[in-house]
A and B are shown apart, each in its own frame.
Chain A
Amino acid sequence: MVPAPLTAFCDGCPLKICSVHGCAEERLRDMGLREGAQVEVIQNSDKLIVRLAGCRIGLRRDVAADIFATPAEL
């Protein structure tokens, strides 16, 4: 499946991140939002909340739009 930005996923989907871009990319990788990480979008409105392993990360929409992911096969 073609990767889509995180903003395109509905609440609660398990995802696998394919690529990270944009001005915050290094910060995001430091925080664990890196290529290959398993995440879950738990809130998707004007901002996003993403669950990553044991933590929640709040993102501004434009930052999340630079993170591309595909649904993770279980």
Chain B
Amino acid sequence: MRVALCGNPNVGKTTLFNQLTGLRQRVANFPGVTVERKAGTLAGAPHVEVVDLPGTYSLTPRSIDERIAYEVLVGRLETEPDVVVCVLDAGNLERNLYVVTQVIDLGLPVIVALNMMDVAEENGLAVDASALEKDLGVPVVPITASRGEGIDELKKCILNPPESAQVYRWQLMDAVDAKIPALIKQLTEEAPHVKPMHLRMEVLRALAEEEALDAWRLEAPEFVNCIEALQEEFAKRGIAWRHAEVSGRYAWIGPIAQRASHRVSGPATLSDRIDAVFTHRVAGPLCFLLILVCVFEAVFSWAIPAMDLIEAGVAALAGGVRSALPAGWVTDLLTDGIITGVGNVVVFLPQILLLFFFLGIMEDSGYMARSAFIMDRLMKRVGLSGGSVLPLLSSYACAIPGIMAARTLDSERDRLITIMVAPLMSCSARLPVYTLFIAAFLPTGKLMGVFGYQGLAMFSMYMMGTIMAFVAAAILKRLVFKGPASYFVMELPPYRRPRLRQLFWRMYQRSKVFAIRAGKIILGCSIALWFLASFPRTDTSPEATQIEELAIQERNREYAAAQALAPGRDLTVATDSLSLVDSTLVYALDLTARADARYTAALDSANIIRQSTQIRESAIGHLGRILEPVMQPLGFDWKISAGLVSAFAAREVIVSTLGIIYSVGDAEGGVALRDALKADQYPDGRPVFTPLVALSLLVFFVFALQCMSTLAIARRETNTWRWPMVMWLYMTVLAYLASLLVYQGGLLLGFS
């Protein structure tokens, strides 16, 4: 048996779904959270499949997510569901009932779940479920999905499903109604495959909607002719045929809603008062900007203690492993490869969790929908609508859900543009890269004592990507997807207190995703990179050998000179066992001691040269150096170039790569990656990483599309490889040019 959950957006379908199945699908307080069909089994009744659907205002789909809901309900994706649970917001019966009447008219058994009873009660709204049940002729179960109230009754009802209710109990205006039978007959003749149950719906829709009519043009031309003739006739007679169906349905449900609930139109609610500030035309955008600055500031600074802790733990672990195991390449792989590679990325988990915490608060409180409202003005300028803001903001977490959320857009053109620019929004995988370089190369001071420079730098990285996304959207709209700006209509949900359990669950989920990523991709990359960095082995370095030989000669010479000063005396004995009166002997001993010190220093530097020769001559070194000429204009040396290549597996991997390169090339080990970056030099003594190089690299990461999964999801959502390829190409070119501009411009301006 299959049960489908349907209803308006944001009425709590997914919350109910989670209660019924025990699953944890994503719930948030803005319309358009669910954009796919999700299935699970009813807890305690494994033979019942529960299907969660995207929210829809009517059964006339206007966007892709609504189409999915529609196709499941009419049985186009799979066989029709056996029962449909229509979820309603008890505080807004009339509008919510509209889609219920449409589902009833499909001839499916319907159960009404009257959700948000707690909110209705709080607002002093008495909702009479039994009156509703009697009027509609379907079972009505009052529930509060978020608290699990009424779920058992609903389950019982699902397990004893009702019969289909009587269809078309509402009255179409007579003039239109009279013409329907003839049209139905015509359609049956031309399109016999249409289910008898759906005929009336198809006719009504073709009458009211241009697009629905166009869809019949090939298959049923005569039917289309009839309708067009009829529309002309109605227009002449002054009959409002276009909204005949809407008016008819509302004429039926209006009184029903009235009887079932007594609307209180009280004074302005709390939500209205908050909105007076947050959606104000001047204060609103300012608040939005301030909130974003604070979020990124907090993400940057609050995470530091936890990050320091993890960093120390990773270093201790590496040290422990190194001392516990015998020296050899396996130990090197463990410490320099796996622990360094994975550890360097795991360090950023606290920041990512904080980012998700704040995004979660914005989503659950209802502020997300307001941000779409506020940003509409800007979006209109670039030819999009506020609706694109939600997908773009979710791309701050990850471009993949962002690209999928674009399904909620009514206009296909807007959807494509949004998909094309979503990867420019900085996702959480870029966070480690931003943090590493910002922490290494920016001062820690505070601007006006409030905002740390580092947090502000982080904010500017995010802004740079965001602004570029708008610019790219404007260009795409002008050049590729030409057309008028689309409209903007969006429901603004009431503000709700974010539910902490839900929030922490999402953060926990995120850490799991992160851990899996660290465990699979980053671990794999780290191992591969370590091998690439450690092999082929180059144990001979002529330069190092030469230094060593010179050092030995030097030492012998100085020993001989000292011996000449104190002939016949043993210069290898310790100083304090000798009489200090013999000043020549003391002087000679001093000479040999200094000779020894110089000798060890020379050996050390030979060792360092040998290590870095190893890295340079390794597979990854060769790869990096092949790319170096291309990357040199951006200020990147071969190590960064190699890191950039590895970042195509996942952006964070560059952090592992640099970590591995530096720890394989580092005789001592245990230096924080930050410090290793700062200390690195070209052979001629110039630092490899200057603030300018770091900036250039950051800019590269802001714009570059280094994510296979994004390309794959864009392929799925656009159904062609064309757009993902265009996306990759334009972003790579953009990243290269922007970095080039930053680095060369910086050099010209006299920075180094």
Contacts and interface: CB of A to CB of B under 8 A. Distances in A.
A43 B243 contact: no
Contacts of A40: 265
A35 B275 contact: no
Contacts of A26: 60, 62, 208-209
A63 B247 contact: no
B89 A27 contact: no
Contacts of A24: 487, 489
A46 B281 contact: yes
Nearest to A31: B57
Given A34-B246, A45-B281, A54-B91, A28 B373 contact: no
Interface SS of chain A = mixed
Contacts of B490: 57-58
B489 A32 contact: no
Contacts of A53: 92-95, 263
B275 A43 contact: yes
A45 B280 CA distance: 8
Interface residues of B, number: 47
B617 interface: no
Contacts of B480: none
Contact of A55 (B242, B380, B410, B491): B491
Contact of B240 (A22, A35, A46, A54): A35
Contacts, number: 119
A49 to B, nearest CB: 7
Nearest to B374: A47
A25 B279 CA distance: 24
B246 A29 contact: yes
A45 B272 CA distance: 15
A56 B280 contact: no
Interface in B409-433: 410
Nearest to A26: B209
B276 interface: yes
A49 B281 CA distance: 12
B243 A29 contact: yes
Given A22-B487, A63-B487, A55 B92 contact: yes
A57 to B, nearest CB: 5
A32 B243 CA distance: 12
Closest 3 CB pairs of A and B: A54-B92, A32-B95, A30-B57
20 contacts: A25-B242, A26-B208, A27-B62, A27-B487, A28-B489, A29-B243, A37-B250, A42-B272, A42-B275, A45-B280, A47-B279, A47-B377, A52-B95, A53-B94, A57-B489, A60-B380, A60-B386, A60-B488, A62-B487, A63-B488
Given A29-B246, A35-B240, 9 more contacts: A30-B57, A32-B98, A34-B247, A36-B247, A43-B279, A52-B95, A55-B89, A55-B493, A58-B491
Interface of B: 57-58, 60, 62, 89, 91-95, 98, 208-209, 240, 242-243, 246-247, 250, 263, 265, 268, 271-272, 275-276, 279-281, 369, 372-373, 376-377, 380, 385-386, 410, 486-494
